[in-house]
Structure 1
Amino acid sequence: MSDDTLLVIAVAGVAALLLLILRAKVQPFVALVVVSVGVALAAGVPAADVVKTVEEGMGATLGHIATIIALGAMIGRIIEVSGGAHAFAHALIDRFGGKRTPLALTVAGFVLGIPVFFEVGLIILMPIAYGVARASRRPLLVYALPMGAAMLTVHAFLPPHPGAVAAVEAIGASQGLVLLMGIPLTAVVVLMGHLVARRLTRRAYPMDPAVYAEVYGDQEPGPDGGGTGTAGTNDAAPDLTASPAAVGDGHRTAVLSRPAATATGIRPPSLGMVLTLIVTPILLILLGTLGQNLLADGSPLRAVLTVLGAPMVALLIDLALCAYFLGARRGWSRAHLAEVMGSALPSVAMVILVAGAGGVLGKVLIAGGIGDAVADVLERSGLPALALAFVTALALRAALGSTTVALITTAGILTPLLQRAELSTGQLSLVALAMGAGGLAVSHINDAGYWMFTRLVGLDVPTGLRTWTVLTTAMGLMGFALTACLWPLV
């Protein structure tokens, strides 16, 4: 079969995927499997081998990422249920002071976004933003916009989030190097995004009356981005003790009170405890990566660090620490602890399946020869691998809406080209980060995260596009620029 025919099949497959997800509203997992089977048959994969190809693609992908995603979700769930996320955010607000409360919430979004999925993080932290806005009399968007963008940035760039994990494994990059380069890169993007958000929120925007009533009651917020309350003139953190809030889907979240103690009389986890538990698996993975690169083969220390630094082992150790320090030590029974861990799995089950289905599509592209045909075209385009990764992920993100699906599909399309380019592990890790930058950008009306954020903040569609979409796109471009700056160094 000619390359031109294979390219037509590839384009038709992507078009069919878009139609199924956007027009027919087919669940992405089902759409990916259906398109994969159709592409395999059209590309000439023998009918007897189609099912085998699907199984191999699913198994190879989930064998790498299913455990990592599940363990990461369990860690995030324990931190959430124990009150650690709320306590962490409140502690940061206390330390940063009233003038820098937006920055405090941005930092909270960045740090808590590592173990907690984006949607869950919004539900946890948005009531705190409600309370701060109510107490300070400043517009809610001042606090919520940089905080939400920080969580989405981590979701797009860093493991253990599913899109990042799947992309790293698919192209053969290193989880450790992605974290080593990605954490400082992401931190810079988040801080730059905070500055952009400050400019975007200088003017007042219309707000949904229902959300407005939840945040401010019958009182008026400040008429402009600076507000009229004490937040702009007082260094003390605002009092959050009388700030109940509700999310836009009708169910109430926890009442915003500074968490001196839980209902059982047990004090919530400290900032240091939560931060240590979030950082522990990252440090273990980084130590494993450094050991493999700096220590000699056969070294006992290298062997130990390699095992401890494997992402699955690092997350398993951290899960045990979370279970003890945030659960058992604070009075949780074994049954309750098991229930909390189990409650994390339903929300990520479909994410895991979507990631596996993305692996199926990648396997089909390779088995049918489409991968090589696409690689030839991309190679002739003259664009470097880093730019191709960013542009492809950005285009799929804009078209499909889902960051996870965009990253997985991009990895499947580019893997043959990246294998042919013979890039180093460090360069492949930067390519994975460039994909993350593309997956961050252009969050708009086909993205569930866009609707969730705008509903919680009370924005209409034009305002959401002028604020949330502009900010995420600007941060995606910043992320790609930083990866390009790092490229000569690896």
Structure 2
Amino acid sequence: MMTDLEMNWVLSTPALLGIAASAIGLLLVLIMKFKVHAFLSLIIVSLLTAVATGIPTAALMPTLLGGFGSTLGSVALLVGLGAMLGRMLETSGGAQVLTDALINKFGEKRAPLALAVASLMFGFPIFFDAGLVVMLPIIFAVARRLGGSFLMYAFPSAVAFSVMHIFVPPHPGPVAATGLLGADVGLVLIFGLIVALPTWYVVGHLFGRYVGKKYDLPVPSILRGSTGDFADFESKPKLGTILMLLLLPLGLIFLNTGLNMAATAGLVSLDDGWVQVLRTLGETPVALLITVLLAMILLGWRKGKSASLIDSVVDSALGPVCSVILITGAGGMFGGVLRASGIGNAVADSLDAIGLPVIVAGFVIAAVVRVAQGSATVALTTAAALMQPVVMGNTDYSPIQLAAIVLALAAGSVFAGHVNDSGFWLVSRFFEMDTKTTLKTWTVGQALVAVVGFVIALAIFLIAGLF
């Protein structure tokens, strides 16, 4: 259905871009000026945009529900299971145990750095949203312990997950672009780290310190009950138990991605039964489900907690994140409407005709498509598909230059995530930031990630061309 919908119905490219700009402007006015709830605002603007761009009446609801449902399919399970795990870590005292260990090891001044380094490691195999949700209880506990703006601790970790997700295989965006452009996945992995780590330092560490000092945000209460709630669940588990619960989903997901890469290299076959079983265990929702069940055992039943208390603790995690899930799904609905209207394709086709150098054109196309329709994955694959004939038809590019082009496109695809990006709402709601503050911090930060990442990728491309 969506393939048939992703086309320019009757409108020209300027008209489509005008509608997109007006829709984003209306959304910001509804949320920031008239204080209409973000969930309602996103639905209203999505519906009006679908009508304005000429999506047929028969396809109207399928388009809206398709964007909403596809986003929820990837987010709801991760957020729900991650929130359950986070609530158990929080109420058992496990988050505090790990916080004390981190502070004793790294010191109070380097606590944000310690959290970010852990996030960079977690971010290698685990997706942005899942990794952030799992780390949040630890970030909350450290911020409460040390005081100061919550952004000082959370922003570097969020950027760490973002740069790993967008630049480093085995995440889907760079893997898809690598395949489309015929690059070597091993080189993309190596140079992806070379791009991701300095980018994190500039944006996550340096810019993160700036926004942490400028915006004094309290620690969110979204994963925490009221004072005294579930005091009987506290047991101060051992540090080893907490580390195991945090590393278990990491290991399972890494197993999945590792087997996928091994199959690509011809080392194993995806048709083998044992491979299919292990890959299923390593699917992110399954890995988180296993971890939640194990946490119920280790933090609940083995500590002598009643089944009703454990159930109450787990259930209490879902109410606060309901708003996060629905708003994120509505953000996906808005992005889905923009994609179905043909706005992204119209922008990409127009820019492709300008005739910029390949690596610059790819970055610009990915960035503009990202801003126009919200999805980083769509922006990256669109840009890679448009660049494919040019790149594959030029045999002068070295393997390193091909990897650099992939990374330049990846940088463009993360540019300035804003109100049409479901990830924007995930950060906004979990950090309990209003829309204006999220635009000033997260959107600007994502723009910086794109620019810094592109500069490094361009430098790699130019240096490789000298040899």
Tell me, yes or no, whether TM beats 0.5: yes
Instruction: Tell me if structure 2 keeps the 8 A contact 1:76–1:115.
Output: no
Matches within 5 A, 1:236-315: 268-294=236-262, 295-315=268-288
Structure 1 residue 369 displacement after superposition: 3.0
In the alignment, the residues of structure 1 paired with residue 204 and residue 335 of structure 2 have an alpha-carbon distance, to the nearest angstrom, of 36
Unaligned runs of 5+ in 2: 1-9, 123-130, 166-170, 179-184, 263-267, 393-402, 419-426
In the alignment, the residues of structure 2 paired with residue 265 and residue 348 of structure 1 have an alpha-carbon distance, to the nearest angstrom, of 21
Instruction: Tell me if structure 1 keeps the 8 A contact 2:366–2:383.
Output: no
Distance change >3 Å, CA 118–CA 380, structure 1 → 2: farther
Matches within 5 A, 1:5-404: 5-96=15-106, 100-108=107-115, 111=118, 114=131, 116=133, 123-130=140-147, 146-154=152-160, 156=162, 196=206, 268-294=236-262, 295-380=268-353, 382=356, 383-386=360-363, 388-389=365-366
Structure 1 residue 387 displacement after superposition: 5.2
Q: Give the counterpart letter for 2:260 in structure 1.
A: Q
Matches within 5 A, 1:473-484: 478=452
Tell me the SS of whatever aligns to 1:350.
helix
Distance change >3 Å, CA 363–CA 192, structure 1 → 2: closer
Identity of aligned residues (%): 29
Instruction: Tell me if structure 2 keeps the 8 A contact 1:20–1:26.
Output: yes
Structure 1 residue 207 displacement after superposition: 12
In the alignment, the residues of structure 2 paired with residue 129 and residue 384 of structure 1 have an alpha-carbon distance, to the nearest angstrom, of 45
* 1:3 corresponding residue in structure 2: 12
Structure 1 residue 307 displacement after superposition: 0.7
In the alignment, the residues of structure 2 paired with residue 371 and residue 13 of structure 1 have an alpha-carbon distance, to the nearest angstrom, of 15
In the alignment, the residues of structure 2 paired with residue 149 and residue 369 of structure 1 have an alpha-carbon distance, to the nearest angstrom, of 33
Structure 1 residue 290 displacement after superposition: 1.6
In the alignment, the residues of structure 1 paired with residue 233 and residue 324 of structure 2 have an alpha-carbon distance, to the nearest angstrom, of 36
Provide Cα deviations, 1:376-410, integer angstroms capped at 9, x if missing partner.
Answer: 234346444445555776x79xxxxxxxxxx9566
Structure 1 residue 194 displacement after superposition: 7.9
TM-score of the pair, normalised by structure 1: 0.62
Q: Give the counterpart letter for 2:115 in structure 1.
A: A
Instruction: Tell me if structure 1 keeps the 8 A contact 2:366–2:379.
Output: no
Distance change >3 Å, CA 16–CA 195, structure 1 → 2: closer
Q: Give the counterpart letter for 2:142 in structure 1.
A: L
Instruction: Tell me if structure 2 keeps the 8 A contact 1:281–1:314.
Output: yes
Tell me the SS of whatever aligns to 1:287.
helix
TM-score of the pair, normalised by structure 2: 0.65
Distance change >3 Å, CA 109–CA 264, structure 1 → 2: farther
In the alignment, the residues of structure 2 paired with residue 415 and residue 375 of structure 1 have an alpha-carbon distance, to the nearest angstrom, of 11
Instruction: Tell me if structure 1 keeps the 8 A contact 2:92–2:233.
Output: no
Q: Give the counterpart letter for 2:255 in structure 1.
A: L
In the alignment, the residues of structure 1 paired with residue 81 and residue 338 of structure 2 have an alpha-carbon distance, to the nearest angstrom, of 30
Distance change >3 Å, CA 53–CA 313, structure 1 → 2: same
Structure 1 residue 117 displacement after superposition: 7.1
Aligned length, in residue pairs: 391
Higher deviation after alignment, 75-84 or 121-130:
121-130
Unaligned runs of 5+ in 1: 131-139, 160-166, 212-245, 256-261, 397-406, 441-446, 455-460
Instruction: Tell me if structure 1 keeps the 8 A contact 2:411–2:451.
Output: no
Structure 1 residue 84 displacement after superposition: 1.5
Tell me the SS of whatever aligns to 2:237.
coil
Distance change >3 Å, CA 391–CA 337, structure 1 → 2: farther
Distance change >3 Å, CA 356–CA 264, structure 1 → 2: closer
Instruction: Tell me if structure 2 keeps the 8 A contact 1:43–1:370.
Output: no
In the alignment, the residues of structure 1 paired with residue 66 and residue 231 of structure 2 have an alpha-carbon distance, to the nearest angstrom, of 50
Give the aligned CA root-mean-square deviation in angstroms: 5.1
Distance change >3 Å, CA 199–CA 38, structure 1 → 2: closer
In the alignment, the residues of structure 2 paired with residue 18 and residue 71 of structure 1 have an alpha-carbon distance, to the nearest angstrom, of 31
Distance change >3 Å, CA 415–CA 352, structure 1 → 2: farther
